[in-house]
Structure 1
Amino acid sequence: MAPLDAGTPTSFIGLPLEMLMPGLEAMPAASAIAAYRAWLAANPTSPQRFAAWFNVGAMLGGAGDRAGAMAAYRQALALKPDLHQASVNLGLALETDGRIDDALALWGAALQPDAARIALLNQRGRLLEAGKRYAEAEHALRASLLTDPQQPDVVQHWVHLRQKGCIWPELGDGLPGLSEREMSLQTGPLGALALTDSPAMQRRIGEAWMARKVPAAPQRLSPTHGYTHDRIRVGYLSSDFCRHAMGFLIVELLERHDRTQFEVFGYCSTQEDGSELRRRILGALDHHIPIGHLSEEEAARRIRADEIDILIDLNGLTAGARLGALRWKPAPVQATYLGYVGPVPLPELDWMICDDVVVPPDQAEYYLPRPLPIKGCYQANDARPPILPVVTRESEGLPQQAVVFCCFNNFYKITPRIFTAWLSILRTVPDSALWLTEDNATGIANLRDLAGKSGVTPDRLIFASRCEPERYLARLGLADLFLDTFPYNAGTVASDALRMGLPIITCTGRSFASRMASSLMTAVGATGGITSNLHDYVGKAIALAKDPVARAAARCELAGDAWTRSLGDTAAFAARMEAVYRSICLRP
């Protein structure tokens, strides 16, 4: 999810000096600053001095003199303490200077009229969210929404903060002036996947978000009937060609494309992370085209100039997406794949690559773009064998003899319903523990508090610290059962669990996101843990936890080459994906 916009610092406040000296704003910065300082010296008692100091601060900031700008803003605030524009600008300068706590303290104490109150609250919420101080961020954004509930971006962040911090219920107790339906439609695309398993509702949420965020382009760039090329030119568009879940999944597909039939372009707006994975991804591309510095139109025109036959969007409705570029229709065929597992209702997209498990025929009508099922499981994987460190239950702080339930999904996927199910399992299996990711302090505190209130000793919840991918994979082998989330299943993590021989209990729903684990489990032939409701989910988890023989049998299903010959057979997957590409490629 994109962060709340920090906004552009206010750059100018009018005062009589501009009337006396027309064109002051257009002067070189040094000359304008000198003019303001001369006016300040000549007018020691003017009531407009606060505005002059503010304008000096704005111009010094624009010229790169952050210390001078901050001093000028403080002068302005000394003269007019309720000048909220100066508080915002000074706080942004402090943030840029790395003085996060000073910025938060300033915005928290700033005086301002009611109409400007929301700007400071939103700035506080944005910065607190970036620091994973979710409880404080949620409080700031709620206060902002109580002042003005008609702020869709703030509603989106407020709800998602509650999801990430396990501050339940997700929609709170409602907001005056905003109905539950209106709030739901403003939750944003990522939060929607964990809020509902209705693809129709997810689509409406996506449409509402795009109506606010992604205007139509003035023209279509690509020809309607395609190009004539000896090889199909496939362009992959992503901000995640790095150590990101999508990067781990896609790398070997890029490497295995048949270069006699396909030419592979990568349109990359990824921040350089220096990782070995990024080097592999870039090495797998025939053409690496950085577009992070380009505008949406410029990126689209570059794609059009390369005469891409099929453009594959790997972001969907996630942070870093270049939806504005897609709206120019720079390729005659455009599809979305892997990055976002829900409807992406962008008119210029032609296809959503999926499979018949994640999008069954009776749900296909609710999706945009049109579902395009690949034969077998939809998910690409990297089959390169990892070099795993030696880990033990003792080294990871796990009880030696207990049944260890595991879920390494992000906290925003944990819903009140699924956590209630987990607590029921823990109460029924007393010699057991639940192993989760150490996602954020707010969520950990809330989950432990809820566990204690439900009769489960909080220390039975164990939180694994963030670590290198190899250690994370090795850890999965220490657990007994993976308890999936609902309605937003594990995707990459589920594949990793199956690879490490860890049986999964999942619950399926109607949406793509709620059927991911089922697709992966079907592919490896381990369908015994698939359920269709939480009552059966709880019952199956308890039965396996209490039956060591049944648990061993479930592990046997995943032993040997079960993963390698199914999800890990990337050569076969690449051939199936290429067959799909050939079927949708347009030729004049």
Structure 2
Amino acid sequence: MAPLDLSPAATGDMVADLPLDRLVALADALPPDQAVIAYRAWLHGNPAMPQRFAAWFNLGVRLAMLGDRAGAADAYRQALLAKPDLWQAAVNLGLSLEALGDGDGALAAWQGGLQPAEARTALLNHQGRLLEQRKDYAGAEQALLASLLADPRQPDVIQHWSHIRQKACLWPLHEPGIPGLPAEDLVLQSGPLGALALTDDVVLQRRIAEAWITRKVPAAPAHLAPARGYRHDRIRVGYLSSDFCRHAMGTLIVELLERHDRSRFEVFGYCSSREDGSDLRRRLVAAMDHHVPIAAMPDEDAARRIRADEIDILVDLNGLTAGARLRLLRWKPAPVQATYLGYIGPVPLPELDWLICDSHVVPPQQALHYAPRPLPLDGLYQANDSRMPDLPALTRAEEGLPEDAFVLCCFNNFYKITESVFEAWLEILRRLPRAVLWLAEDNALGEANLRARARLRGVDPARILVAPRTDPARYLARLRLADLFLDTTPYNAGTVASDALRMGLPLVTLSGRSFASRMAGALLRAVGLPGLAAETVDDYVAIAVGLGEDPARHAGVRAALAGGEAWRRSIGDSAGFTKRMEAVLEAIRLTP
């Protein structure tokens, strides 16, 4: 049989008289570029056919597959002209416009789409997703709420809606609730990251993470690594991360990679990080014996690459955060797999063996609630980079701070600020009339809600100051200008708390039961100031007020930090930390 002639002219002659169902069957059997020719020929030959909307829609799908987003958008517009209630075309038109960088056009397509009630959620969810990306949290929260009111059985939508409310400081967090959805389900579907700022109940955090993993991360068909491990002269340790770049994780981990004893360890970096061109990224890549880019690899291919490299211990640096490669981990490409630093809570993935921590952040009485099994280091859990960048000389005037104020600061993300924490801050401000509260810029709705709550509680909103985002060096220099760092709970500052102590800035925290709620307390213990870690809200307020009212006491705490010298001797002792990390890696290595 002669091959089918799919030139434009021949295809036009061949398909013009086909019924639509036969055209669709033909196009489904063709490569996308040839299907485009077929659909265009059919549309040209059938200018009055009622089913043209379907052909236009299918043409748009094929053009999108070929990367022609502009052509796809035009096809979807034609489909909507022929059938205005074709909501699928409105969804795809918005996605095409979003890919072309026209976010306003995408929102207009989704907002103007006509659809039956059962399909309304698709358009609302895309609106909410894009508005959240643009930090229009008011619009995103309303779009996702409308979607949940139409169909409350959407765990992913619940997760985003709940976390948007955390970021926007919309309190009480889950009120007035969602009809048809029990309050417990709202909590259980709040997502792993939101859970750390929602509760210090480790059992509940684990249940939330388990529900998310069950829904999102299916088991792999097989495990790849030999159960008994390998025989290597040097331990092959692989670090897996999407944050080998200018990111808090990259900042913390870089010197550990550099300092690993190459006579005993061979360092592999499995990297799905963005190429940001930063000095830190160049330093991270240079610190690896083998830099293996896996961003473009499917999870199975990346897992098989790790297996081929015969990695002894794979250390996941993402956990349940953005960029995680959990499906890769489910292939068990290394005989020993640990999670460290990226997500400081339970990561109940069956293929993970260890959660690297310390005995303060995961005390023995809580250890049984965690998954995977806690592996405490001897000393502080947190890696650090002892190198100090060149810092600019800043003044309070340059940063918009009053010279004579007692500056309370918190540079944590807004989603960590809970209603109870903010009420404690307001009480501190009421009792320290010379104090101001200095926050890091996050989002406009959250800032407005915090100011509104302050006004409601009798605190002048003008006492809340916001520092715009800046580069890492200026951010560190700013910390020197404050008098006291007020931590959040149940999700403490981690990297930021370490940075504050490094800059000689005293910190007050409130410790709870969970890893996330005990991070800053572990750092304070390391620098010799455990008394600044409170265990009740009243004590937290009392410690902060006491430091603000008693200049001599405040000066004594400052002196104990010695301008960061206490940090350098303890938290910043990267050489000592590397030895402690290597000791636990050697302890968990499997040898046949």
Smaller-chain TM-score bracket: over 0.9
2:578 maps to 1:578: no
Q: Distance in 2 between matches of 1:497 and 1:230?
A: 41
Alignment-mate amino acid for residue 361 of structure 2 = V
Q: Does 1:455 align with 2:458?
A: yes
Residues 270-285 of structure 1: matches in 2 within 5 Å?
Answer: 270-285=273-288
**Partner-residue secondary structure (3-state), 1:81:** coil
* Percent of residue pairs bearing the same amino acid type: 66
Change (3 A) 1:227 1:80: same
* Matched-pair contact (CA < 8 Å) for 2:20–2:51: no
CA distance in 2, matches of 1:383, 1:256: 11
Per the normalisation by structure 2, the TM-score is 0.95
Tell me how far apart the structure 1 counterparts of residues 129 and 185 of structure 2 sit (CA, whole Å).
Answer: 22
Change over 3 Å in CA distance of 1:109–1:189 after alignment to 2: same
Residues 1:122 and 2:125 are matched in the alignment: yes
Please report how far the alpha carbon of residue 29 of structure 1 lies from its aligned counterpart in structure 2 after TM superposition: 4.3
After superposition, the C-alpha distances for 1:338-364 in whole angstroms (9 at most, x for unaligned) are 000000001111110100110011100
Task: Give the distance between the partners of 1:584 and 1:289, measured in 2 at CA.
Answer: 24
Letter in 2 for 1:251: V
Pair 1:322-2:325 in alignment: yes
What is the match of residue 364 of structure 1? Answer: 367
Residue type of the alignment partner of 1:49: R
Partners of 2:27 and 2:39 within 8 A in 1 = no
Aligned counterpart, 1:487? 490
Aligned residue identity for 2:380 = C
Q: Give the aligned residue type for 2:43.
A: L
* Aligned-pair CA distance for 1:454: 1.1
Q: Which piece of structure 1 moves more, 44-53 or 100-109?
A: 44-53
Cα distance change, pair 485–49 in 1 and its aligned pair in 2 (3 A)? same
CA 1:264 to 1:32, structure 2 compared with 1: closer, same or farther past 3 Å?
Answer: closer
CA distance in 1, matches of 2:19, 2:538: 72
Q: Quick one: structure 1 residues 329 and 390, their matched pair in 2 at CA, closer, same or farther if it must change by over 3 Å? A: same
Structure 1 vs Structure 2 CA RMSD: 1.3
Q: Is 1:250 paired with 2:253?
A: yes
- Matched with 1:60 is 63
1:141 aligns with 2:144: yes
Partner residue of 2:479?
Answer: 476
User: Which residue of the other structure, out of 214, 218, 222, is the alignment partner of 2:217?
Assistant: 214
| Cα distance, 1:42 vs structure 2 | 4.3
Give the Cα separation in 1 of the matches to 2:368 and 2:206.
Answer: 11
Which of 565, 570, 573 lines up with 1:566 in the alignment? 570
Counterpart of 2:591, as a letter, is R
Identify the residue that residue 157 of structure 2 maps to in structure 1: 154
Indicate whether 1:434 and 2:437 are aligned: yes
Using the TM superposition, give the Cα deviation of residue 69 of structure 1 relative to its aligned residue in structure 2, in angstroms: 2.2
Native 8 Å contact 2:319 2:339 kept in 1: yes
Structure 2 counterpart of 1:486, one-letter code: T
In the alignment, is residue 177 of structure 1 matched against residue 180 of structure 2?
A: yes
TM-aligned CA deviation for residue 467 of structure 1: 0.6
> Partner of 1:433: helix, strand, or coil?
strand
* 1:110 and 2:113 aligned: yes
* 1:22 CA drift (Å): 4.2
Structure 2 counterpart of 1:520: 523
Structure 1 residues 408 and 94: CA distance shift in structure 2, 3 A: same
Aligned residue for 1:564, secondary structure, equals helix
Q: Which residue of 1 aligns with 2:538?
A: 535
* DSSP 3-state at the match of 1:229: coil
Q: Is the 8 A contact 1:405 1:433 kept in 2?
A: yes
TM-score by length of 1: 0.96
C-alpha displacement of 1:170: 1.7
1:292 aligned to which of 265, 287, 295: 295
Change (3 A) 1:394 1:20: closer
Instruction: Extract unaligned runs of 5+ from structure 2.
Output: 1-17
Q: How does 1:39-118 map to 2 (within 5 A)?
A: 39-118=42-121
SS at match of 1:506: strand
Contact 1:128-1:136 within 8 A present in 2 as well: yes
1:72-124 deviation line (CA, Å, top 9, x unaligned): 22121112111001101111111111111111122112111111100000000
Shift of 1:474: 0.5
Q: Does 1:18 align with 2:21?
A: yes
Amino acid at match of 2:116: P
Q: Which one of 500, 504, 507 corresponds to residue 504 of structure 1?
A: 507
CA change 1:581–1:37 in 2 (3 A) is closer
Aligned length: 574
Distance 1:30 1:566, change over 3 A: closer
Query: Is 1:202 aligned to 2:205, yes or no?
Result: yes
d(CA) in 2 for partners of 1:170 and 1:519? 28
- Report the more deviating stretch, 557-566 or 153-162: 557-566
- For 1:222 and 1:463, locate their aligned partners in 2 and report how far apart those are by CA, in whole Å: 50
| Superposition misfits of 4+ residues, deviation over 6 angstroms | none
CA contact (8 A) 1:18 1:24 kept: no
What is the Cα deviation at residue 422 of structure 1? 0.4
**Contact 1:215 1:324 (C-alpha < 8 Å) held by counterparts:** yes
- Give the superposition deviation at 1:56: 2.3
Kept in 2: contact 1:266–1:287 (CA 8 A): yes
CA distance in 1 between partners of 2:127 and 2:390 (Å): 43
Match of 1:5 in 2: none
